Amino acid sequence: MEIERGAGKIAKCLKLMLNNKPGHLAKVTAAIAQLNASIGDIHLVRFGRTHNTREIVVYVDSDQQFEDVVDVIASLEGIVVEDVIDLVHQLHEGGKIATKSKVRIETITDVRQIYTPGVAAICTDIEKNPELAYKYTSIPNSVAIVTNGSAILGLGNIGAVAGMPVMEGKAVLFDYLVGVSGVPILIENSDPKIIIETVRNIAPTFGAIKLEDIKAPECFEIEDVLDNELDIPVLHDDQHGTAVVVLAALLNATRFSGLMLSKSVVGVIGLGAAGMGISKLLLSYGVKKVIGTDLNEDACERLVAAGGEAETLDDVMKKAHVVIATTGCSGLISPAMVRKGSVILALTNPKPEIEPEVAMGAGASFAADGKSVNNALAFPGLFCGALNVRATRINNKMKIAAAQCIARYAEENELVPSLLHPDVHREVTAVVERAALESGVVKHWD
């Protein structure tokens, strides 16, 4: 059953008993439409002599709107509201992931081979030659998804355990899209040194480390230290996964607008994890001038150290041909601030810094919000490609190759392809493998 339609919509399911007479279902759908709600799947649960039971998915903008829908339907003659099902909560019951065996156990001989005493021979082999762990264990296809819950999905510092459903979701995408095992690791601590030490100690279990939803500026130190110390890829997805998809979107947006990205002045508003990741990747791609602004002076200094320039908000809007906003502050950009002919990506969800249609009406040549810029387009292929060739890191060449690949798979007039495009993740994996080999970050490649 479908559970999502568009960013920001709430999906609920109504279980209704309807009189088996013509027009009753039509009355329900008309009532839903009159309250500006949308209808998803309609499923016939039971069909009796006098009544039938149906489950109807309804999409609303708020809980109050849904309550209004329920009240109106309940007042209709010949219709009984049997139950209200929250599809999102239902889907998450019991968690979304589990550890499953890849081998079958049918006899005691199977047990003796999988476990003791047979496994001792494999352990001894690995003791003599640690490289065999990459042949005989799950290590090379496993990624630790590490969070302390300090910057969860725009919800802020809600703690690691509250962030677990997000980490499980990432693990589901890893498995479904590229067949990689993602393992959530929750660290209830805000001290970068504790997080670094914890990851350092668990690193032998995994082929790569994915840092997730750790707030700035701590995320920069954590990633830098671990990336330098470990001989497996370490990537903070909020910085680099987002940056890859934004670069892909910009490659298409500037093409639609007749701009050349590398020769454009790019302005970044908000220099947290995403803003800094985007700025660094754009500079590496070859953008000649990146200007940025943030309320935090230290953030501006980090941009300057990376090769960008710090400006005021007004100056960014006046000077930049391309504006990327990652502030978390909806409505920050007014129509009067929009430079004629500029490209604007206002990425704050669910409500952007400026609505795309408002930006276009104010003179932007192209504008979009963050609904389609989903970093899940990037991280599965980035990690899978790196794991496949045993890369020691995920470098900018690999990220740029991924972005260019994602951009190529966008349908006509789209910034980026669908997350569930049948080919994009396989192709991203392939170009990342090639970029890793070409850039010399592959270890023990035969």
CA 233 from centroid of its chain's CA atoms: 18
DSSP result, 154-186: TTBS--TTTTHHHHHHHHHHHHHHH--EEEEEE
Tell me the two tokens of residue 49: 């002599």
Q: How far apart are CA 259 and CA 356, in angstroms?
A: 18
CA angle 19, 21, 26 (to 5 degrees): 90
CA angle 234, 235, 236 (to 5 degrees): 130
Considering 115, 135, 193, 263, which one is annotated as catalytic? Answer: 115
The verdict on whether 176 is a catalytic residue reads no
CA 344 from centroid of its chain's CA atoms: 21
Tell me the two tokens of residue 389: 């060739």
- Compute φ and ψ for 42, nearest 5 degrees: -120, 120
The verdict on whether 115 is a catalytic residue reads yes
Nearest CA to 280 among 251, 253, 243, 320? 243
CA angle 368, 371, 376 (to 5 degrees): 120
CA 20 from centroid of its chain's CA atoms: 45
Please check whether residue 233 is in contact with residue 209, taking contact to mean a CB–CB distance below 8 angstroms: yes
Please check whether residue 159 is in contact with residue 188, taking contact to mean a CB–CB distance below 8 angstroms: yes
| Residues ≥6 apart with Cβ < 8 Å to 327 | 269, 270, 348, 353
For residue 117, whether the previous peptide bond is cis, meaning omega lies within 30 degrees of 0, is yes
Burial class (CB in 10 A: 0-12, 13-18, 19+), 245: buried
Considering 12, 170, 210, 399, which one is annotated as catalytic? Answer: 170
According to DSSP H, which parts of 179-235 are helical? 192-202, 218-229
Q: How far apart are CA 393 and CA 435, in angstroms?
A: 12
Ramachandran bin of 46, using left for φ above 0, alpha for ψ from -120 to 50, beta for the remaining angles: beta
| Residues ≥6 apart with Cβ < 8 Å to 22 | none
Please give the positions annotated as active site.
115, 170
